[in-house]
Structure 1
Amino acid sequence: MKISTVEKNGITPEVVEMVCSLVGRIPWPERRQAMADVTNRLLDGKPRVAEDVFGWGRATVEMGINELRTGIVCLNDISKRHKPRTEDKYPQMIKDIHEIMVPQSHADPHLRTTLAYTNMTAAAVRDALLKKGWPEEQVPAVRTLSEILLRQGYRLRSVAKTKVQKKTNGQTRFSKMSMR
């Protein structure tokens, strides 16, 4: 029967937890080289075993091993990997959304927050943008549009209607609901 690298080298779950914790505190690209060093010393330089034991990506570990072997550090610009927000890609769309939402929005009655409450849904805003001439490919989905509206300070809630006052014997009385 074949003995695994972990059993052969006597690596316990406590060691795995400690190594993952320590390596997680190291910034990139030094973290990649630390992963490679741990893999070389504890796992006989096997990136696939490191993937199984520590949960690290084997491509990352392989790159770290190559960096240690050659002495050349690969540069990664992780900040460029994210997808830009719709607001950043189409600033005119935000202006059009404000033009659509301002007539439909109401301030908080007690002025406690800066949020503008509206009874207009994100789907209705999407339809209004399409009617305004925005192409289907550029208008975001309803879920994305609702997140954009929240980031812009619009709260997608129904607007509370005012309570009707009851008149009894010529006197105006407030209903129990309006007193709260």
Structure 2
Amino acid sequence: MEDLMTYEDDDGIVRLLPGYKFDPTDEVLVDFYLKRRVFGQPLPFEIIPDFDVFQIEPWGLPGGDGKIFNQRKCFFHNIGGRDLESLDIRVAGSGEWRATKKGKNVHIHQNNEVVGKKNTLHFWEVQGSCARRTEWMMHEFRLASIANPSKVTKWAVYRIFQNKDLKKVTNSNKYNQDSYNDVEG
């Protein structure tokens, strides 16, 4: 079935054919895709690439078209070797991802078992001591330990997308200095 739904482009990126949409629920991302990745089990097809989402701005991520994503993009990344000063603010390219909601449980619907944790982050463009919130958002999913659901793995799956509601506000203030907030360092 995977050969009928995907193809590899000139850059070696696996893409879905027109008419197919990859938009899994939080539960499926954690309990199926991330769990298989963490335990080294094969995935049905390689639709989620390994990529360090913190090395560049979100509009430069693979599979994007400049500053526009046609749909949500997902990436696997192991932050085990990365020295993060803070899990609330993570530098990425010329900006930073800031956590807005942390530690929401991801449950399996059948038995209400906690399988993971979900954090929501927004991307801020930083210029000197000023920062402006963009329309870019990220959901970070980590697999929770069965013995202790508050502990999570170093592997994560990231869902990155543009929030259309924020885009309208951001574009109306694009060149307005008031849209920048002082960052206290």
Q: TM-score, normalised by structure 2?
A: 0.20
| Structure with more helix by fraction | 1
| Structure with more strand by fraction | 2
Q: TM-score, normalised by structure 1?
A: 0.21
Which one has a bigger Cα radius of gyration? 1
